[in-house]
């Protein structure tokens, strides 16, 4: 009688962390993945600008002013004979940088204000939220235009990029502060917060080591969508001449060429490419933000 060897395979369950779970949900959203790919390509093309074009930012060809697209200049040249593709690539650096640093400023302010207001409650919460609502009551773009016109007129052109970052960042935090406050009002009643009190942890450690990390998913989603809004705001301010000013190129002030009726009709290569770049950047970031929102909170989609 032959002995049968019975092999029992034990089923092993893989423990999936919260961040891996978010990534797995994000990958299922095809539009979000497409947006991520487009955004990565935009970032890489801007970061690798010196390797993608043989021209420098300010190199001029006096014999090729206002030249149409050709094999030598893929997007033509401007009125000074500068290669337009080169200015597009370097302009992407500035636009993305402004959007990134503006979001960093608004996220830091939103976390601090929302975290303190949600944790302490009472008159501190009431005072901070009333101030937040006052900021939110002003229309963003008219307020940004006013502040930029007042402050930016006293600043040299090479520093206007930093002024634009600060203006967008300082006016964009109230929405995130309200989200953080709402999350912390719920989290501070959880059992793990009772444990931190029993251990005698300071309020600062409770807020920034235990409460804020539990809201990072919502912070990332808000920051992603906020970056798209910051890029649009920078483009609008630069288009109006109140943001980053030439000769520093950005997608916003490159679209400024469309204000000239002659250029609008006869030289579309001077305003269509930067407009398309702004559209692709904002669309891709919004797709990423929507995917992250559904990944962080699957119930929000329903």
Q: What is the pTM of this model?
A: 0.80
Q: Which two tokens stand for residue 72?
A: 């030598």
Q: Does residue 1 have a pLDDT over 60?
A: no
Rg (CA), the chain: 25
What Cα–Cα distance (Å) separates residue 89 from each residue in 79, 198, 246?
Answer: 18, 55, 15
Give one DSSP letter per residue of 213-281, joined into a string.
GGGHHHHHHHHHHHHHHHHHHHHHHHHTTSSS-TTS--HHHHGGGGGSHHHHHH-GGGTHHHHHHHHHH
41-48+71-300 folds as MetI-like fold (1.10.3720)
Question: What residues does each domain of the chain span?
Answer: 41-48+71-300
Quick check: 252 and 244 in contact, CB under 8 A?
yes
- Cα(92)–Cα(96) distance, integer angstroms: 6
d(CA 178, CA 173): 9
Dump pLDDT digits (tens) for 157-206.
667 788 888 888 888 889 889 989 988 888 887 788 778 778 777 888 88
The residue ranking higher by pLDDT, 19 or 222, is 222
Mean of pLDDT values over 67-82 = 82
What SS3 state is found at 48? coil
Q: What is the pLDDT of residue 153?
A: 66
């Amino acid at each position: 009688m032959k002995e049968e060897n019975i092999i029992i395979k034990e089923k092993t369950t893989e423990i999936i962390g919260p961040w891996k779970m978010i990534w797995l949900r994000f990958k299922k959203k095809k539009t979000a993945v497409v947006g991520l790919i487009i955004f990565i390509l935009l970032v890489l093309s801007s970061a690798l600008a010196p390797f993608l074009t043989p021209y420098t930012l300010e190199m001029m060809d006096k014999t090729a002013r206002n030249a149409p697209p050709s094999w030598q200049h893929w997007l033509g040249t401007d009125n000074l004979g500068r290669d337009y593709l080169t200015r597009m690539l370097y302009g992407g650096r500035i636009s993305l940088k402004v959007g990134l640093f503006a979001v960093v400023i608004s996220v830091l302010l939103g976390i601090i204000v929302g975290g303190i207001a949600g944790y302490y409650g009472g008159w501190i919460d009431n005072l901070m939220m009333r101030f937040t609502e006052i900021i939110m009551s002003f229309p963003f773009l008219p307020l940004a235009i006013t502040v930029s016109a007042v402050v930016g007129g006293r600043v040299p052109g090479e520093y206007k990029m930093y002024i634009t970052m600060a203006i967008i960042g300082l006016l964009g935090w109230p929405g995130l502060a309200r989200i953080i406050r709402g999350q912390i009002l719920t989290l501070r009643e959880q059992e793990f917060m009772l444990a931190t009190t029993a251990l005698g942890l300071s309020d600062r450690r409770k807020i920034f080591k235990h409460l804020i990390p539990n809201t990072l998913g919502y912070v990332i989603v808000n920051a992603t969508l906020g970056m798209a809004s910051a890029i649009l705001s920078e483009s609008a301010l630069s288009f109006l001449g109140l943001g980053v000013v030439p000769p520093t190129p950005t997608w916003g002030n490159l679209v400024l060429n469309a204000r000239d009726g002659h250029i609008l009709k006869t030289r579309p290569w001077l305003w269509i490419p930067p407009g398309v770049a702004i559209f692709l950047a904002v669309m891709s970031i919004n797709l990423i933000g929507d995917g992250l929102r559904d990944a962080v909170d699957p119930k929000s989609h329903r």
